[in-house]
Amino acid sequence: MNDMKQPDQPARYGMISGPLSGGIILWSFVTFLLAAAGQMSLIVWLPRLLPVFDRWYLAVAVLVYWLALAVAFAWVIGRQIHERIERPMQEIGEAAGKVAKGDFSVYVAPQHIEGGRDWDSTDQMFADFNTMVAELGGIETMKNDFVSNVSHEIRNPLAVITNYATMMRDVDMDRARREKCARTIISASERLNMLVTDILRLNKLESQTIVSEARDYDLVRQLTDEILALDDLFTEKNVDLDCDIEDAAMVHADPGIVALIWSNVLGNALKYTEPGGHVSLTQRSRGGTVSVAISDDGCGMTPDEIAHMFDKFYQGDTSHAVQGNGLGMAMVKRAVELSCGFINVTSAKGQGTTVTVRLPAAKQDDES
């Protein structure tokens, strides 16, 4: 969602500001000049036109004149306040009431065209209110989709566990079938546990705004450790992993958060690469950043799949859906954001995928 700007709110949304306040001041000044001119004309010409007027009648006439001007001025100002402040606030209040009841289709039309000379702080408030409602509607949709996806992902392994546990109640089941059922139940339990763990981990990442554990550390060593941890899986699937990395590359980030990036990206590269395929990892330091590019020659993605690959529970290639839950790349994106980095994905269907991550290098101390 959009960042809120706290410091400039009073100036941005002041009720008597911008064209409105300027218009009132200018109108008041002009009115005062005209009123003063009218009074001078009244004092000068009224006794000449009506010589019988003595000074008392003239004083009353001037008093009535100013009273009439005050009433007219108050009416005009009241009208302006009603049209420019009270009525817009009433519209905002009614719209806010609908939003509070869950209606996110509310739209409050600004009074003037954006960018026009009459566009004022009230119009800006209406525009920002509409943006807020649209964002809330999007969040509500995402929440509903998230609940639906979580329910679906949890229901499947639970159904497997229930079905195979029921089958194991058969006292006549032979040992081989019983062991197969037990392995299936364990696999479904592990998948369910992984789902819950990833949901909690992603929720923690999304709720985190300050990386308190950020420090300078060697990214090359971290990449080496991750490669060694996955080496058996690459060997088991008969996928080659080529590495081209420097001797050392210092970055400033939280090692635990950054580790999520490599485990998920390398895991995806392995998952979507067929046996006998090839995965490469290239690391370079340049211009204050450290970049890591992980490429595979797997199934690749279409532009539409690339656009949605960071969405929660999204899995473009459903043939590999059983191997994950669609939360890995969502965690990767959030981990990159928290690390003040940048991620880029290039891919073509049937030609593999390359994921490039750039992280800020650690600042070098100048020592003479």
356, 341 Cβ separation under 8 angstroms: no
120, 158 Cβ separation under 8 angstroms: no
pLDDT of residue 75: 82
Sheet with 278-286, edge to edge strand ranges? 240-244, 278-286, 289-296, 353-360, 342-347
pLDDT of 353 strictly over 70: yes
pLDDT of residue 70: 75
pLDDT of residue 174: 86
344 in helix, strand or coil? strand
**Using 50, 70 and 90 to split pLDDT, how confident is the model at 323?**
low
**Using 50, 70 and 90 to split pLDDT, how confident is the model at 2?**
very low
Q: What is the average per-residue pLDDT within 223-239?
A: 90
From 114-118, 179-183, 239-243, 323-327, the region with the lowest mean pLDDT: 114-118
Distance CA(234)–CA(60), nearest Å, equals 102
Q: What is the average per-residue pLDDT within 192-202?
A: 79
pLDDT of 5 strictly over 50: no
Sign of CA dihedral 151, 156, 157, 158: positive
pLDDT of residue 9: 43
pLDDT of 202 strictly over 90: no
Q: What is the average per-residue pLDDT within 62-85?
A: 74
Q: What is the average per-residue pLDDT within 188-198?
A: 81
11, 45 Cβ separation under 8 angstroms: no
pLDDT digits (tens, 9 = 90+) for 95-109: 888 888 877 788 887
pLDDT more than 70, % of the chain: 72
**Residue 275, exposed/middle/buried by CB under 10 A (0-12, 13-18, 19+)?**
exposed
179 in helix, strand or coil? helix
User: What letter does residue 119 receive in the DSSP assignment?
Assistant: -
Sequence-distant (6+) residues with CB within 8 A of 223 are: 243, 245, 262, 281, 283, 292
353 in helix, strand or coil? strand
* C-alpha 153 chain-centroid distance: 25
Compute the chain's Rg from CA coordinates.
35
pLDDT of residue 33: 65
Task: Give which of 213, 280, 215 is closest to 250, Cα–Cα.
Answer: 215
Task: Give which of 162, 145, 154, 151 is closest to 191, Cα–Cα.
Answer: 154
Strand partners, 353: 296, 347
Distance CA(148)–CA(142), nearest Å, equals 10
Query: Tokens 């204050």 identify what position?
Result: 288
Sequence-distant (6+) residues with CB within 8 A of 85 are: 15, 16, 122
Distance CA(316)–CA(366), nearest Å, equals 48
Most distant CA atoms of the chain, gap in Å: 129
Strand partners, 279: 241, 296
pLDDT of 317 strictly over 70: no
338, 254 Cβ separation under 8 angstroms: yes
Q: What is the mean pLDDT of the chain?
A: 77
pLDDT of residue 355: 94
